[in-house]
Structure 1
Amino acid sequence: MGPILLATDGSEYARQAAKRAIELATDRGVALHVICVVDQRRFDDTALSSAELATIYAADHAAICVEEIVEMAATEDIRVVGDTRHGSPHDVILEYADEVDAEIIVVGEHGNHTEHFSGVRRKLLEESDREVRIVEGTGGKIMEESG
């Protein structure tokens, strides 16, 4: 069995997805990889411009999102690996899933950037050859699944 990959954005929906991902990793005895992507459609690379502070804030927020999940999983007997990256979220998530050979990708049903996140979920479901689980924000039920 391969590791579980959780894509997070720090939203309450992502927290519910994190709970499910932690349960899955614990039940299967596999590592949990957590990624938060700074969406370059909204934030450019850091440069000397007015967008610099927003980009720095987004990168800091991504690191906090990952650390929150690492702390949530601290009581479980699983290895947790966290990472933040910049790019188009669905592309980065799929690339990272390939890098770690994830068996399952877990995401929340909505995110902090809803206008983009729904497209991310849809693209993950359509483009991934891995199992993708979309977790409901209330109760943590699996809403949609592929793979």
Structure 2
Amino acid sequence: MAYKETEARELIISAVHRLTEAGLVARTWGNVSARVSEEQFVITPSGLGYEHMQPEDLVLVNISDLSYEGERKPSSEKGIHADAYRLRPEVNFVIHTHQDKASVYGIRGWALSGFSDPVLGKRVPCAAYGLPSTDKLRQAVAD
């Protein structure tokens, strides 16, 4: 079930603040998005630090063609988010980080498992490594 746009914006801001406080993101690395319909999602903007980010800074992106609405430019990784939503209709929230442990798991091709979380479940898949903003990374997410 997609989120209402206002709710999606608030959830993303909450997530980026929690990720920052937990030390799971640095500077502007990583990105967070939430599906708001079958056709659109809201995503963090490019180049804006999470500590200052507000709901109105987020960007509304079309899944099919990556066109967007808003004053800011969307994350350069908007394509992997769009692919996740297009290929996995049950996915409604995406967090993409560059923190050390997640990167190691991605390079190794492992999923995060061995825990139980009410939101995450018992397993979080990790995409194979790919350089940022490349077709290789988009394909890894699609696979």
TM-score (norm 2): 0.32
Identify the structure with bigger relative contact order (alpha carbons < 8 Å, sequence gap 6+).
1
Q: Which has the higher helix share?
A: 1
Q: TM-score, normalised on structure 1?
A: 0.31
